Amino acid sequence: MTELMRDPNPATTGTEIIALAYKRASTEEQLKGYGLDVQDDELRTWEAEDTKRTILEVFSDEGVSGSLDRRPAMLRLEERALEGRANRIVVPNVDRVGRTARAAFNWAWRMQDIGIHFISVEERIDTSTELGWTMFQQYVFFSETEWNRIRRRTLDGRNKKIEYGGWPGGPAPYGYRIEGKGRKGSFLVVCEGEARVILKAVALLVDDKKSYEDVAEELNRLEMYTRSGKPWTATNLYQRMHSETFDGYTTYRKANRGRRKKATRLHEDGTPVHGEPVRIAVSQILTSDRAEELKAVLKKRSINKPRKPAAIYPLSGHIASDCGQVYIGGGRTGQRAYRCQGNNSGKSGCGCTNLDATEIENAVWSKVTELLADEGRLRALADREIVSLPGDRDKYLERQERLAARIEKQEKLIEDSVPEYIKAGMEPAVAAAAVRKLLEELESWKKQLGEVQHWLSEYEQTRARANAIVSLAHSSQERLANLDAADKAGIFDMFRIAVLPEKGRFVKRPGAPCTVTAWHHETGTLVPPEVSETQWKTAREVIAQYHGPRHFSMTELDLRQALNGMLHRLRHGAAWTEIEFWGHSEAIRQRQGVWFRSGAWQALMEYLTTDERGTVAYRHPTIPLLHVVSEIRSGVGTFREVAIDAEKIAKAVVGVGADRLSRLPLA
C-alpha cells in the first residue's frame, strides 16, 4: 500500500507536526449546528493536546459543498503548502477533505505528491502511515455513500411531493399562488386577482382583436398591473399569453430558462442537475375551448408578424459596472446595448449608462484579435493554463501505472491462488472471508484508478482546448475580421473574459448628434486649422456664393472668429456653451446650421483643406475606456474558483479593484 504514497518532505520530517488546518461547512451543515466555530474548537483542542503540534494557519471554506474538487480556501492552502514549511494538513474529520471520492482523493494525492499528508482529528487518522491511508480510503468511500444517500433521499422526497400534486419550491407561475407556503403540504391554487387579468387580456386579444401593445396599454389604464406592480409591456404580455398552464400543467425544472439567477441548474449537456423536468397538473384558468381560441389568434399573429431572432450578446455578464453589478445584453428600441443590472432594482435604479453593444464588442474583439495574431503569447497563455491545473501529470501517470499493476496482481491472486488454498485444505468459511477482503481491496483500487483516469482525461481535454486556441493564430486577419456575431461569441467562449470600464471617466453625450459632426465622420472630411486673415478673404468669397450681402451685414458676430470657434469645437468635441471666447455660442451654432443647409459649409471645407492639412473630427466615445483581461477557459472550473482567478487578474490591472471582478462569471 505504501508504494501508492509519497514520503514526507525531508525538510519537514521528524516528530514535530507542523500543520495547516482546514475547515469547511456547507450551508446545510451550518444550519444543523456543525459550523466553522465548532470545527475551529476541535482543531484548537487537537493542537493543545501535544506541545509538538503546531497549526501555522487555518483556512476556511464557508457555505461550500464538499463535492467540489476546487474550493477557494483549499486552493489558497495548497499555495501555502508549496512553501514547504508544513508536513501535515489537519481537518476535523475526513469528509471535510471531500464528500466524494473524486474531491477527496485528488486533493490527498496532490498533497502527497509534494510530501504532505492528512490528519483527521475525529477518526484519528494520519495518512502518512499505511494503516492511516487504508482507513482514509474507507472513510472516503463511506462519506461518499452517505452523501449520495442524503441526496437521493432529498430528491426522492421532492419528487414524491410533486407526484402527489405538491409544489416543490420556487415562485408560482403567473395566475397561481402557493397555498400552505412553507409547510409540507404546499400546492398551487388559482390566484383570483391574476386570473382576472388573464381573462381580460384574452378577451381583448381574442374578442376585440387588439394588438399586444394596445392590450398592455388597456390593462395599465385599468390599473391591472403585473405581479410586481409594474405596468405591462407587449413583451411581458406575449410571454404570459403563451403559458403552458393554459393546457393544464406547469413544468418544474425547466431546462430552457437561460442563465438567469434563479434558473434551473444544468449539467454541461443541458440536463437538470437535480433530476428530470416534471409536469405538475394545475387547475385551468381558461376553458379548453377558450384556450384553443387563444392559440388560434396567437398563431395568426406569429405568421403575420414573425418574431425576430434573439440578438447575440457574447459579453453579457462579463462587463463590470461602477455600482458593483454587471452589464447584460438588452435594448428595447431596436438598438443593441448592454445595460447594467443595477438599473433593474428599485424605482430609480443605479443610473449606470447603457453601453452600445456594437462599439464595446468591437473594442473587446480588437483586443482578442491582437492576442490571436500573436502565436507566442497564445502559446504562453495556453502553457500557463495547463501548468496551473491542480496536480502533476507525471505523478498521475505513475499513480495510474502502479494502481493498474496492483489491480492486475490482485485479480490474478483471486483467480489462481485462492482456489489452490481451498484445494490444500483451507476451511471454506476462512477462504470466503479472505476472498471478500481481497475483493473489497480490489474494488477500492479500481475506484481510485477511475478517479486517476478521470483527472488525466480532464487534463488532456484542457490541453486540447489550449492547443485549439493556439491554432487560431494561423487564421488570417481577414478571416478573423469577417466572422459573424455567432462565430465571435464562440471564440469569446474559449476565453475567460473580464471587461472593466474605467471608473469615473465616461459621460455619455446627451441629445441628438450634431449634423455637421456626423457629416465630417461620414465623409472623412478633415477639420482645417484656424483660419487666418489672409484665408478669410477667400473664405468670405466662398460663403458669398451661397448668401447675399445682408448675410455679412449683421454685427453681432465676427464671422471669421465664429468660423474658428466652429472648427475648435469640431477638433476638440467641445460643447456649444464652451466656445463663448469666439462669440455668442447660440448665434455661432445657428450660423453653422445655416451654412451647412445652404452648402456653404461643404464648400468652405473643400477650400480650407485643399492642402490636406487638418485633423479628424473629434468622435465622442459611446463607451468608456476599457480594461480587457482574458485567460484561456479551462472548462472544469467553478464560480468560487474563478473568484480567486479574478483577484489575481485584478492585481495586473492598474486602478481596477478585485471587488468589481468578483461579480463577473468569468468561467
pLDDT at residue 665 greater than cutoff 50: no
Taking only the tens place, the pLDDT of each residue in 347-403 is: 566 777 788 888 888 888 887 777 777 777 777 777 766 666 677 888 899 999 999
20 has pLDDT over 90: yes
Tens digit of each residue's pLDDT (9 = 90 or more) over 80-130: 998 888 999 999 999 888 888 888 888 889 898 889 999 999 999 999 998
**Whether pLDDT at 57 is above 90:** yes
Contact 30, 137 (CB under 8 A): no
Q: What is the CATH number of domain 176-304?
A: 3.90.1750.20
CA-based nearest residue to 202, from 284, 299, 295:
295
2-156 is a CATH 3.40.50.620 domain = no
Phi, psi of 558 (to 5 degrees): -85, 110
The pLDDT assigned to 662 comes to 43
In this prediction, residue 498 carries a pLDDT of 75
pLDDT band at 477 (very low <50, low <70, confident <90, very high): low
d(CA 623, CA 357): 9
Question: Which residue type occupies 136?
Answer: F
- What does the block give as the cell for 260? 438567469
Say which range, 8-12, 54-58, 254-258, has the weakest mean pLDDT: 8-12
CA angle 447, 451, 455 (to 5 degrees): 165
Cβ distance 108 to 72 under 8 Å? Answer: no
Here the cell at position 291 is 384556450
Residue 200 parent element (H or E): helix 192-206
Single-letter amino acid code for the residue at 127: T
DSSP secondary structure of 206-218: HTS---HHHHHHH
Query: Structural domain boundaries of the chain?
Result: 2-156, 176-304, 375-466, 515-608
More reliable by pLDDT, 59 or 488: 59
Amino acid identity of residue 88, one-letter, is R
The predicted model gives 451-479 an average pLDDT of: 76
Using DSSP, state whether 20 is helix, strand or coil. Answer: strand
Amino acid 601: pLDDT: 95
Give percent of the chain with pLDDT exceeding 90.
Answer: 22
Residues 62 and 23 sit within 8 Å (Cβ to Cβ): no
Same fold, 2-156 and 176-304: no
- How far is residue 597's CA from residue 210's CA, in Å, rounded to a whole number? 43
Cα 127 from chain centroid (whole Å)? 38
The CA distance from 376 to 372, in Å, is 10
Q: Could you report how far apart the first and last alpha carbons of the chain are, in Å?
A: 38
536-544: which pairs have CB atoms within 8 A and are 24 or more residues apart? Answer: 536/560, 536/563, 538/607, 539/563, 539/604, 539/607, 539/608, 542/600, 542/603, 542/604, 542/607, 543/595, 543/600, 543/604
Measured between alpha carbons, how far is 612 from 602 in angstroms, rounded to an integer?
Answer: 15
Whether the Cβ atoms of residue 113 and residue 395 lie closer than 8 Å to each other: yes
Report pLDDT for 599. Answer: 94
pLDDT for position 171: 82
304 band by pLDDT with thresholds 50, 70 and 90: very low
Tell me what pLDDT residue 666 has. 38
Q: What would the pLDDT profile of 417-461 be if each residue is shown by its tens digit?
A: 767 766 777 777 777 777 788 888 888 899 899 889 988 888 888
The CA distance from 104 to 119, in Å, is: 13
Going by C-alpha positions, the residue among 656, 598, 582, 601 that lies closest to residue 626 is 656
Rounded to the nearest angstrom, the gap between the alpha carbon of residue 374 and the centroid of all alpha carbons in its chain is 26
508 Cβ neighbours under 8 A, 6+ residues apart = 353, 354, 622
